[in-house]
Amino acid sequence: MKEEEAVFLLGKKFSFARNEGEDLPTGRVRVGSSMVLPEELADEYDKHFPPGPRKHKQETKRVVKYELTVVRDEERSAIENGLRFYIEGRPFNVLANHAVFYGVSGSQYQTRISTNNSNRYDLVQGDRITFVIDKLEEKMSVKQAVFNCRDVECREVAIMGKLTTWLRIEDHGNFDPVFFPFVPFDDFWKTWSWYIDQRSKQIDQFRNMPLPSFPPEISIH
**pLDDT tens for the chain, residues 1 to 221:** 577 777 778 888 888 788 777 778 888 888 878 888 888 888 888 888 887 666 656 667 888 999 999 887 655 556 789 999 999 999 999 999 999 998 887 778 999 999 887 788 999 999 999 999 999 999 999 999 999 887 888 899 999 988 888 787 654 456 788 999 999 999 999 999 999 999 999 888 887 888 777 666 655 55
The closest alpha carbon to 98, from 77, 128, 122, 75, belongs to 128
Between CA 135 and CA 155 the distance in angstroms is: 26
Phi/psi for 208 (5° steps) reads -90, 0
CA distances from 215 to 211, 220, 221 (A): 13, 15, 18
Query: pLDDT value at position 164?
Result: 84
Q: What is the gyration radius of the CA atoms in the chain, in angstroms?
A: 22
Say if residues 178 and 116 touch (Cβ distance below 8 Å). Answer: no
Q: Which residues contact 160 (CB under 8 A, 6 or more apart)?
A: 179, 180, 181, 195
Q: Convert 107-124 to b/e letters by CB count within 10 Å (16 or more is b).
A: eebeebbebbbbebbbbb
pLDDT for residue 61: 84
Cβ neighbors of 129 (< 8 A, separation 6 or more) are 100, 142, 144, 145, 146, 147
Spatial separation of the C-alpha atoms in residues 109 and 18, rounded to whole Å: 32
Q: What is the pTM of this model?
A: 0.71
> What does the alpha-carbon distance between residue 100 and residue 215 come to, in Å, rounded to a whole number?
49
Q: Please name every residue paired with 35 in a beta bridge, in sequence order, or none if there are none.
A: 30
What pLDDT is recorded for position 172? 47
User: How high is the pLDDT of residue 217?
Assistant: 62
